[in-house]
Copies of this chain bind each other. A is one copy, B any other.
Amino acid sequence: MRGERGKRARSTILDVARLARVHPSTVSRILNDRPGLTLRPETRARVLAISKRLDYRPSALARSLRLQRTLTLGMLVPDIANAFLAGIIKGAEEACHERGYTLIVCNTADVPEREATYLRVLRERQVDGVLVASARLSDESIGSLLAERFPVALVNRGTHVDRGTRGNDDLWVHVDDRGGAVAAIDHLAALGHRRIAHVAGPQTTTTGRERLVGTRAALRRHGLTGTIVEAEAWSEVEGYRAARQLLRGDPPSAIFAANDLIAFGVLRAAREAGLDVPEDVALVGFNDIPEAALVDLSTVHVPQHEMGARAAELLIARAEGRPIAEPRILLETRLVARGSSAPAKERVTA
């Protein structure tokens, strides 16, 4: 039963060397060919030919063991299936691929135990660095990585891990959450809305907090109070739950949801409450995931792909020991107005 498979043993560098009548190390040199090295074209050609004929492919395992680097990056995300994260992952994956790195994406489901397990696995596999896109705060695990000076890059999340012990060279790619929130509120205010509510994201996350801060500041500037409710998670379901609470009684005329998924939940709750969007209540989300266009949701655009790519590039630079000019990258957001926040304006006082 066993041993049935894996018959045709893969050819190694020794096989090539033997057939080419050279030493294995010569084969290695030729195949990797460093500039500034002198090989006789003759042997070179012969080795190349043999290696092609044997379909020789070096073992990344052995090489990594020898080189002490794997050309592999790990990535921790709370949910692969989340459209926003998917965009980030894709960006990171492409940047990695371009530079010859492989990315291992790990789905933590925001469960600390899984996070820890994966972190262990990644380290056992000697990945050259870890990209952390999970939104949760305060990770001792991350703290310990940073403490060990293990290459880590944070994407779309901050950290409250003991600022004291860390330098200012932490790798960090995020967007202007406050600015985005301000843009959202400004947009709604410009449409004439005065009764604006905010369905905030979990206040256990940096993004959730920052967006709330921006919202509050903008509301104040417009001389508005605004109602704030908090969704317990960045999900449609929790957005729905929070919105129901908000819509009972005297509903606001406009709602800014902390992200698009939450906005979808708000949308569902509004419909159930017999409220039309945007006629009865205007709605703005955050992130601009592809589905936002599907339901004509106004939202704050976030360059997901770029976030992932930039973060991966930073991390690779760090892993390769290259100097990094800007370890912290702040990307701009941009409001995308769509149907969900269209009317109002003329009926300001309606």
Q: Which residues of chain A from 114 to 162 have any CB-CB distance to chain B below 8 Å in the complex?
A: 114, 117, 120-121, 123-126, 148-149, 151
What are some 16 contacts across the A-B interface (CB < 8 A)? A1-B323, A8-B149, A57-B123, A57-B124, A59-B126, A60-B124, A60-B125, A61-B64, A61-B65, A61-B70, A81-B83, A93-B107, A97-B114, A103-B105, A294-B294, A295-B295
Known contacts A61-B65, A151-B5; decide if A90 and B80 are in contact (CB<8 Å): yes
What is the size category of the interface that chain A forms with chain B?
A: 35 or more
Closest to A9 in B: B68
Is A4 at the interface (CB under 8 A from chain B)? yes
**In the bound complex, do residue A62 and residue B60 qualify as a contact, i.e. CB atoms below 8 Å apart?**
no
Is A248 at the interface (CB under 8 A from chain B)? no
Is A329 at the interface (CB under 8 A from chain B)? no
Please pick, from B57, B61, B120, B295, the residue contacting A57 in the complex, using a CB distance under 8 A.
B120
A 67-110 to B, binary, CB cutoff 8 A, 1 in contact else 0 = 01010000000001101001101100110010000111111000
Is A40 at the interface (CB under 8 A from chain B)? no
C-alpha gap A146/B7 in the complex (Å): 13
- Give chain B residues whose Cβ lies under 8 Å from the Cβ of A256: none
Is A112 at the interface (CB under 8 A from chain B)? no
Known contacts A64-B61, A81-B90; decide if A149 and B7 are in contact (CB<8 Å): yes
**In the bound complex, do residue A125 and residue B102 qualify as a contact, i.e. CB atoms below 8 Å apart?**
yes
C-alpha gap A257/B333 in the complex (Å): 35
- Give chain B residues whose Cβ lies under 8 Å from the Cβ of A323: 1
Closest to A8 in B: B148
**In the bound complex, do residue B89 and residue A80 qualify as a contact, i.e. CB atoms below 8 Å apart?**
yes
- Give chain B residues whose Cβ lies under 8 Å from the Cβ of A3: 321
7 tightest A-B CB contacts, nearest first: A81-B86, A60-B124, A2-B321, A60-B125, A61-B65, A291-B291, A57-B124
Q: Which of A61, A102, A123 neighbours the largest number of chain B CB atoms within 10 Å of its CB?
A: A61
**In the bound complex, do residue B102 and residue A121 qualify as a contact, i.e. CB atoms below 8 Å apart?**
yes
C-alpha gap A321/B83 in the complex (Å): 37
A 28-45 to B, binary, CB cutoff 8 A, 1 in contact else 0 = 000000000000000000
Please pick, from B8, B65, B117, B120, the residue contacting A59 in the complex, using a CB distance under 8 A.
B65
- Give chain B residues whose Cβ lies under 8 Å from the Cβ of A8: 148-149
C-alpha gap A290/B70 in the complex (Å): 36
